[in-house]
Amino acid sequence: MLCKRIIPCLDIKDGRTVKGVNFVNLRDAGDPVLLAKQYAEAGADELVFLDISATEQNRKTLVDLVEKVAQTIDIPFTVGGGISSLEDVHVLLQHGADKVSINSAAVKQPHLIDDLANQFGSQCIVVAIDAKQFDGQWLVHLVGGKVPTELDLFDWAKEVASRGAGEILFTSMDHDGTKNGFANAALKQLSQSMEIPIIASGGAGTISHFTDAFIHGKSDAALAASVFHFGEITIPNLKLELQKNNIPVRL
């Protein structure tokens, strides 16, 4: 069985790491370069860097900051925010990203997923899906969760997989920052209907929440932010507990 991955997430706004609840009420969480270094040394399996205001501000990802982070870590590094073209991805990969994450641009121009997968390989294309429940249906949201669509989470996930995405990063907006646990029912449905890895995001508050995401949500990786940024959970302790629960992890 493949090892499950633990992935800290750096949400970047104005060059700083931030974290909120349900995608709003952001507060400062520290220097992204320093945090990245700490996570790599603590045993994180990968790191995700999301420039959360790039799409809303209609600008490109902060390339200089991406390069600084990449130079300090030796683990796989995914970058997202404001990516809308082959050239954007080329620039980020040239500056140290190992993978890219696309969200709004993928919905607006789905063929971009095909083009990126063909040009750079599926292994470095992550499609991020932010979704919220309305009357029992999970609907996809864009622009950092600010713009709702009529797209169904599970239909869209199947489409992005068919177009060549290598992974799906699913964030439950209802669970984000609440520390009440991941959206395990939705994760399980995604994981059991997809042949590509599913990364759980939104809701981590305790070590048991990670355990649940792997056992009940069937996810391949779990991503979190504030519990790591503010020292509520350390990655070494988390991995030891996961191992005690017979969940394979890289120590």
| Each residue's pLDDT tens digit, 186-212 | 999 999 999 999 999 999 999 999 999
Residue type, 25: N
Which alpha helices (DSSP H) does 163-215 contain, by range?
Answer: 184-193, 207-215
Residue 249 lies in a domain: no
In whole angstroms, what is the distance from residue 239 CA to residue 251 CA?
A: 7
Buried b or exposed e, range 167-202, using 16+ CB within 10 angstroms: bbbbbbbbbbbebebbbbebbbbbbeebebbbbbbb
Residue 9 lies in a domain: yes
Residue 250 lies in a domain: no
Tell me how long the chain is: 251
Residue 216 lies in a domain: yes
Task: Give the pTM.
Answer: 0.92
Residue 154 lies in a domain: yes
φ and ψ at 194, to 5 degrees? -115, 150
Residue 203 lies in a domain: yes
Average pLDDT in the 51-68 region? 74
Are 72 and 40 in contact, with CB atoms under 8 Å apart? yes
Domain CATH code at residue 135: 3.20.20.70
In whole angstroms, what is the distance from residue 99 CA to residue 82 CA?
A: 14
Residue 174 lies in a domain: yes
CB-side exposure of 20: number of CA atoms within 13 Å? Answer: 13
Residue 243 has pLDDT above 80, yes or no: yes
From residue 176, give the alpha-carbon distance in Å to each of 24, 52, 137, 227.
Answer: 10, 14, 17, 12
Query: What distance separates the 2 farthest-apart alpha carbons in the chain?
Result: 46
In whole angstroms, what is the distance from residue 205 CA to residue 26 CA?
A: 17
Residue 251 lies in a domain: no
The number of folded domains in the chain is 1
From residue 102, give the alpha-carbon distance in Å to each of 5, 148, 186, 192, 242.
Answer: 20, 16, 20, 23, 30
Residue 169 has pLDDT above 70, yes or no: yes
The percent of residues in the chain predicted with pLDDT above 70, rounded, is 92
Compare 144 and 79 and report the one with higher pLDDT.
79
Domain span at residue 239? Answer: 5-244
What is the pLDDT at residue 103? Answer: 93
What is the pLDDT at residue 166? Answer: 98
pLDDT digits (tens, 9 = 90+) for 90-106: 999 999 999 999 999 99
Average pLDDT in the 137-159 region? 93
Query: Which residue numbers are catalytic?
Result: 11, 130
In whole angstroms, what is the distance from residue 66 CA to residue 78 CA?
A: 10
